[in-house]
Structure 1
Amino acid sequence: MNQGVFDKISKFLVPLAGKLNNNRYLTVLRDAFMLAFPLTIFGSIAVVLMNLPFLDKIMSQSSLNTFRSAMNIAPQATMGIMTIFVVFGIGYYLSKSYNVEAVFGGAIALTSFLLLTPFVLLVKGQEAIQNVIPVDRLGAKGMFLGMIVAFSSAEIYRFIVQKDITIKMPNGVPPAVAKSFSALIPAAITLTFFLAINILVTQVFHTNMHDIIYNLVQTPLVGLGSGIIPTLIAIFATQILWFFGLHGQIIINSVMDPIWNTLAIENLESYTKTGEVHHIISKPFMDIYTVGMGGTGMTLAVVVAILLFMKSKQMKQIAKLGLAPGIFNVNEPIIFGLPIVMNPLIIIPWILAPMLVTLVTYISMSTGLVPPPTGVTVPWTVPIFINGIMATNSLAGGLLQLVNFVIVLVVWFPFLKVIDRMNVQKEQGGNGDQSDWKVS
């Protein structure tokens, strides 16, 4: 394997990935979604409980309807209004990154978003209901507007604060009071800006910013992100970055998570109302059918293949160390112990297996053989098969993972055998050193 090729690729990828990984806005976006993570987990658990397949066997239809009606508030109050948490999180973490008062940044971002949100519910065939906020504006439908407003409002707020255009209170005033007065002018200017935008859009153009952003920005991006080709490109980029020792998930997901999370919320909203799922690819699809099968690259199958079929003591020892973490989707022992990073013998199955499995999964779901994920958030440490059932609310979801597991094992097997033979020769004192193959 030509080391010069790897050096050239590395010189291009490492600086680029470093810039993406350290980008202020991508880091803030990732942290904002993680702020909502425990809340969405709670809502997802409620959805799973509401839709357990055997409930209609142990409960009457009336009792089942009552149970679901009582539990339905949980997903509505969490995943149903996820944009609120993301908007506040962006405002908070972006302000914090500039070392200005973060909680006011979050509050101002949320208020700015609400200033652009129509407080009216339009019901077909009925008169408009005033002074209410449609829940879908606070969920998937308002996600991209929320992110745009949160970033821009936090930037305006911190700019004014850093220019020292604030009210300064005398010494002895309680800190909470002083901070509130200090944020008064920045908040007023920022909120006035978004109020003016809302007046212009609603009174002159007779529409609202939610519909404008949804139609011009969100719908095209979500449509693009839900396609199999962009998804395969994202998988390819993730695997390549990991091959060079960079955390592909953090880098690629920072860009794609807003789209995949929006798709997941739309799926969940549809599933809880109609029992139907409109999008195959979403955040749970990516989590459960890639990372949720032993970690990045689906390496639990690699561990099992080594333990069952390989003879090298070195490889078996690494596999034993990686088995327990791999069951819970932690695979750094394999990535750095086998190793996978910068090992040209492994680059082909490392990239090919996830892309092939993603394609098989997509085809299985698009043809109706397996239901797509419902949109519930399953903790990433839940083991294979169980997480597949939970994500799709179907046994078929878990069985598909087992099929994918076999596919990964088959793709990796011949490459593992080559490495195994080399290691066995080395352990027996022969000329089987990998150093001529592995780029360091």
Structure 2
Amino acid sequence: MTKIMGFLEKYFLPVADKIGKQRHLMAIRNGLISTLPLTVVGSIFVIFLNLPIEGYEEMISSIRPTLDIPFRFTVGVMALYAAFSVGHFLGESYKVDPLSSGLLSTLGFLISVVVPTQVADDVEGVINAGRYLTIADLSSTSLFGAIVTAIISVEIYRILLQKNITIKMPSSVPPAVSKSFAALIPTAVIILLFWGIRHGLHFDINSTVTLAVSPLKKLLVGNSLIGGIITVFLIQLFWSFGIHGEAVLGPIIRPMWDSAILENMEAFDHIGNAHELPNLFTEQFLQWFVQIGGSGTTLALAILFLTSRVKFLKQMGKLTIVPGIFNINEPIVFGTPIVMNPILIIPFIFTPIILTIVSYIATITGLVPMMMAKLPFTMVGPVGSLMSTNWSIPAAILTIVNFVLSLAIYYPFFKIFEKQQLEIEAKNEEAIADTVVEA
């Protein structure tokens, strides 16, 4: 085990660290995380549009289109927000105007992805003649296109500024006005580029990018057990070295996670059945069924620490139990520590993998539904799984069952670790007693 850890620390972690700090990947991660309030609130509206109450659907049928509006303008146009936020953070990392970067990214996305629809005749009660934008083009289906066009737009903006291919205003001009004029030439270039690609060459950037990443997305966040296990294993492996697993993998997998849960939300909004959604291994699947108490399912360990005869472990249990209930596990991971701990690393890595397999079986057999909402990660486990699966009681029960299972897996390793700590504690007390006698 020590040799394996040493090998990974020497050859694997430096590469992973570089990937995690790569400028464009960090912009993608930060940009998508910044849209969290929109997806969370949008999810809440989906949940309350589908309360499992007899007669509820008929009761709201006349006002359902109105009640659906918050969902449509949060989750339903998520790619639009992502284009702006990714561009904003990438521009910020280059130290160019973040606002202009976000606006140009949004412009590039709209021109390259959205094709206005011409309606020649009025359809009474539905639509008037004219040109319209399809809201579906701004949804999760265009998320990858939004990311790519945002990166291209900001790179064009940055390069033109660095090459001084821009309009410079006198120093007496207010900064806001000066920045606006500086963006004129980049704006023209971005319009001509994406306009020519989409409407001149008839090349769809979004469809091409989405098709290119679909095999990886299907493996990691679709319905593949192997892909789910790979994701969980890598997250735990990074945490074992004290590196935030989701932060390292986030730039690569977060666009897929966000796309997957958005697809589930939109599908559920149409069919109303959480058992028939497209993506099983969403981030929410891991949050509510696997990472109970945080990565490594460490709430179980915090509970076991509370029962320990070792003073340090008992105190650690008291300090980490409340954060653990709300899925914050840094105190126990670094305070124990679990990082680089040859005893506790084993259950820390393999408990989530076992729970992933159990939860996968429960889902594909129809015992529990798939995830159809995105809630804050600090939600208490059973409540989170209950709400995220359209009020499924079996889903809440599965969270509790998985927690009990994690206790059983951690227990023998906890006892070994406790025995080791008891010996250390006894030696320390003996040393203190000898010092007092000598004094």
TM-score where L is the length of structure 2: 0.89
Alignment match, 1:82? 78
Alignment match, 2:239? 242
Alignment match, 1:111? 107
CA distance 1:30–1:210, change in 2 (3 Å):
closer
Give, in angstroms, the shift of residue 353 of structure 1.
0.3
Matches within 5 A, 1:38-437: 38-54=37-53, 56=54, 59=56, 61-116=57-112, 117-120=114-117, 131-202=131-202, 208-214=204-210, 216-225=211-220, 226=222, 227-276=224-273, 277-291=277-291, 293-308=292-307, 310-374=308-372, 376-393=373-390, 394-429=392-427
CA distance 1:121–1:359, change in 2 (3 Å):
farther
Task: State the distance in 2 between where 1:21 and 1:149 align.
Answer: 21
Deviations 1:134-184 (A, max 9, x none): 222111211111111111111111111111111112243333222211110
Alignment match, 1:435? none
Deviations 1:390-425 (A, max 9, x none): 111211221110111011111111111111122223
CA distance 1:305–1:68, change in 2 (3 Å):
farther
Is the 8 Å Cα contact of residues 288 and 382 (structure 2) preserved in structure 1? no
CA distance 1:417–1:171, change in 2 (3 Å):
closer
Amino acid in structure 2 at the alignment position of 1:52? L
Amino acid in structure 2 at the alignment position of 1:259? M
Task: State the distance in 1 between where 2:305 and 2:64 align.
Answer: 46
| 274-283 vs 339-348, which moves further | 274-283
Amino acid in structure 2 at the alignment position of 1:313? K
Is the 8 Å Cα contact of residues 425 and 431 (structure 1) preserved in structure 2? no
Is the 8 Å Cα contact of residues 232 and 355 (structure 1) preserved in structure 2? yes
TM-score where L is the length of structure 1: 0.89
CA distance 1:412–1:121, change in 2 (3 Å):
farther
What secondary structure does 1:179 align onto?
Answer: helix
Task: State the distance in 1 between where 2:283 and 2:411 align.
Answer: 29
Is the 8 Å Cα contact of residues 83 and 146 (structure 1) preserved in structure 2? yes
CA distance 1:179–1:430, change in 2 (3 Å):
closer
Deviations 1:368-402 (A, max 9, x none): 0001111x111011111111111112112211101
Is the 8 Å Cα contact of residues 35 and 85 (structure 1) preserved in structure 2? no
Give, in angstroms, the shift of residue 46 of structure 1.
1.1
Amino acid in structure 2 at the alignment position of 1:106? G
Alignment match, 1:436? none
Is the 8 Å Cα contact of residues 305 and 316 (structure 2) preserved in structure 1? no
CA distance 1:179–1:428, change in 2 (3 Å):
closer
Task: State the distance in 1 between where 2:209 and 2:330 align.
Answer: 40
Is the 8 Å Cα contact of residues 118 and 208 (structure 1) preserved in structure 2? no
Is the 8 Å Cα contact of residues 385 and 398 (structure 1) preserved in structure 2? yes
Percent identical: 34
Give, in angstroms, the shift of residue 223 of structure 1.
1.8
Task: State the distance in 1 between where 2:243 and 2:214 align.
Answer: 31
| 62-71 vs 149-158, which moves further | 62-71
Amino acid in structure 2 at the alignment position of 1:421? K
Is the 8 Å Cα contact of residues 119 and 132 (structure 1) preserved in structure 2? yes
Is the 8 Å Cα contact of residues 50 and 272 (structure 2) preserved in structure 1? no
Give, in angstroms, the shift of residue 130 of structure 1.
6.4
Give, in angstroms, the shift of residue 17 of structure 1.
2.6
Give, in angstroms, the shift of residue 430 of structure 1.
9.3
Task: State the distance in 2 between where 1:237 and 1:287 align.
Answer: 15
Task: State the distance in 2 between where 1:427 and 1:337 align.
Answer: 17
| 6-15 vs 412-421, which moves further | 6-15
Alignment match, 2:435? none
Deviations 1:48-97 (A, max 9, x none): 2222223x36x5x5422245333211111101111011111111111111
Amino acid in structure 1 at the alignment position of 2:24? Y
Task: State the distance in 1 between where 2:149 and 2:86 align.
Answer: 10
What secondary structure does 2:34 align onto?
Answer: helix
What secondary structure does 1:131 align onto?
Answer: strand
Task: State the distance in 1 between where 2:227 and 2:426 align.
Answer: 46
Give, in angstroms, the shift of residue 332 of structure 1.
1.4
Amino acid in structure 2 at the alignment position of 1:38? P
Task: State the distance in 1 between where 2:226 and 2:133 align.
Answer: 36
Task: State the distance in 1 between where 2:314 and 2:251 align.
Answer: 35
Give, in angstroms, the shift of residue 218 of structure 1.
4.3
Deviations 1:250-276 (A, max 9, x none): 001221111111111111001011113
Deviations 1:226-279 (A, max 9, x none): 122122111111111111111111001221111111111111001011113222
Consecutive unaligned residues of structure 1, counting only runs of 5 or more, are 433-440
Give, in angstroms, the shift of residue 5 of structure 1.
4.2
Amino acid in structure 2 at the alignment position of 1:179? K
Task: State the distance in 1 between where 2:186 and 2:402 align.
Answer: 54
Amino acid in structure 1 at the alignment position of 2:191? L
Task: State the distance in 1 between where 2:8 and 2:388 align.
Answer: 37
Two-structure CA RMSD over aligned residues (Å): 2.4
Task: State the distance in 2 between where 1:21 and 1:101 align.
Answer: 24
Is the 8 Å Cα contact of residues 287 and 294 (structure 2) preserved in structure 1? no
Amino acid in structure 1 at the alignment position of 2:192? T
What secondary structure does 2:27 align onto?
Answer: helix
